[in-house]
Amino acid sequence: MAILTASCFNSFAAEILLSSSITDDYTIKSNDYGIHKSSGDVTIDNSDGNNHTFSVRLDYKYDSDDESNSDYVVVAGDLIIEANTELSIEQGVLFIVEGDVIVHGDASFKNQGYFVVMGSVTGTGNINTGNGFDATPAYIGGSIGSGITVTGDGTRDTPLNIVEPDIRSILNYEVTGWEADLPVELISFTANLDKENVTLEWATASEVNASHFEVMKSINKVDWVSIGEVEAAGNSSTTQYYSFTDTDIVNNSMYYKLVQVDFDGQTETFGPLSVYPEGLLFNMTATIYPNPAVSDINLMVSGLNEGNDLNIWVIDKMGKVIFQDSNSIEASSFIYKLDQKLSHITPGNYIVTLQSGNNKISTRFIKN
C-alpha cells in the first residue's frame, strides 16, 4: 500500500493545501512545516476498502511575528470519516475542524495532541483521547451525537476552556468570532444538601435561543447520568431563576453539573459542584475557569460548611490585595462570578485566596 506524505512541499511553505479527499494512507510528518489547510470539507475515503489512516505528527507552532508562518492543520469545513478509517493525532499536534465531524462507521481518533472541533460530532464512532497525564481533552464546541463515545484520560471539553495562549492565538487567526458568547449567561449556580435532598439552584442574566437545562449527576466525576431536565426561558434579557431537587441521595460524594442546550443543538456545561453527605470528611476546593480568562472569570467553590463565612482575596503579582469580599455561606457549593468584581484589572497573573473556618486555600489565574 502506498503511503502519501507531505514531504514534497517546501519545508518553509506558509500554507499547504490539504486535499478534500484522503484516498490512501496519508501522513503529515514532523518536518512538513507550514499550515496544512483545506479549502472546504475533507473526507477520509474508504471506497477501496483498504481502511486508510490519516496521521498527523507535525508539532504545532505559533509565530506571533508572522502568523502565516505557523505550523498546524485546519479543515476549513466538515471532516467526514468513513467506516473503518482512522484519524491519528500525535503528541504536540494541533488539528482544527472549523465545521462538524461526521462519522459514518466505527472510526477512532487517537488524540494525544489537540483535537479542536468548532461544530458538533455525529455518527457512530469513538474519540480516544489517549492515556496518561499528558492526555488532552477532545475540545468540541457543539454537541456530541448519541452514537459517539469519548474514552481515555482526556475526556471532553469546550474550546473556550483551552488555556494555552498560542493555541488561542491560532484560533483567533483562523476562526472568526470563535470566542463569541454562548446562548446563556449564568450568574449563579449552587448545590445544597438538606436532610435527604440536594437542591440545585441557578440563575441566568440573559438567554438567547435556549431550549433547556439537562441536570447531570456522578459519584466519581467520570461516569455521568442525566437525572432530569428543566425548560429554559428561550429568549430573555431579565434574570431567570431555576431549581431542581435530587431525592436519590447516597452516602458518598456527589457531583452535579448543568448542560445548557439551545434549539440549534449547541451546548454549554456549568460545574461540576460537589456535595458531601453529613459526617463525610471533605476539604474546601476552588477552581477558576476559563483559565486564562479574557472576560468571564468564574470561581467554583465546593466543600463548604454552611453557617461559616467565606472570605475571598485577589492578589496581584506585587502582593497587593486588589479585591476583598466576605460572604455568608448558604450552600455547600457555588459559583462566584469574579468578572463582575474585577472588570478593572489589567492582563497578568493573579492569586485568589479563600478562607472559611479553619480551611484556607489559594489558586492562580491568568487574565489575558
For the chain, domain boundaries: 3-174, 181-281, 283-368
Listed in sequence order, the DSSP H helices in 53-200 are 165-174
pLDDT on residue 238:
72
pLDDT at residue 128 is higher than 60: yes
Helix (H, G, I), strand (E, B) or coil at 75: strand
pLDDT on residue 57:
93
Residue 167 CA from chain centroid, whole number: 13
Taking alpha carbons only, the member of 357, 360, 368, 365 closest to residue 315 is 365
As a dihedral over the C-alpha atoms of residue 329, residue 223, residue 100, residue 123, rounded to 10 degrees, the angle is: -150
Classify domain 283-368 by CATH architecture: Sandwich (2.60)
pLDDT on residue 1:
32
Q: φ, ψ for residue 93 (rounded to 5)? A: -90, 145
Taking alpha carbons only, the member of 275, 280, 268 closest to residue 199 is 275
pLDDT at residue 13 is higher than 60: no
The mean pLDDT value for 122-150 works out to 75
Under DSSP, the state recorded for 270 is E
pLDDT on residue 105:
62
Residues in the chain: 368
pLDDT band at 134; cut points 50, 70, 90: low
Taking the C-alpha atoms of residue 56 and residue 93, their distance in angstroms, rounded to an integer, is: 7
pLDDT at residue 161 is higher than 60: yes
Asked whether this chain's domains 181-281 and 283-368 adopt the same fold, the reply is yes
Taking the C-alpha atoms of residue 193 and residue 186, their distance in angstroms, rounded to an integer, is: 21
Protein fold of 181-281: Immunoglobulin-like (2.60.40)
pLDDT band at 9; cut points 50, 70, 90: very low
Element (H, E) at 26: strand 25-28
pLDDT on residue 11:
42
Listed in sequence order, the DSSP H helices in the chain are 165-174
* Share of the chain residues as helix, strand and coil, in percent rounded to the nearest 5: 5, 50, 45
pTM over 0.75: no
pLDDT on residue 69:
92
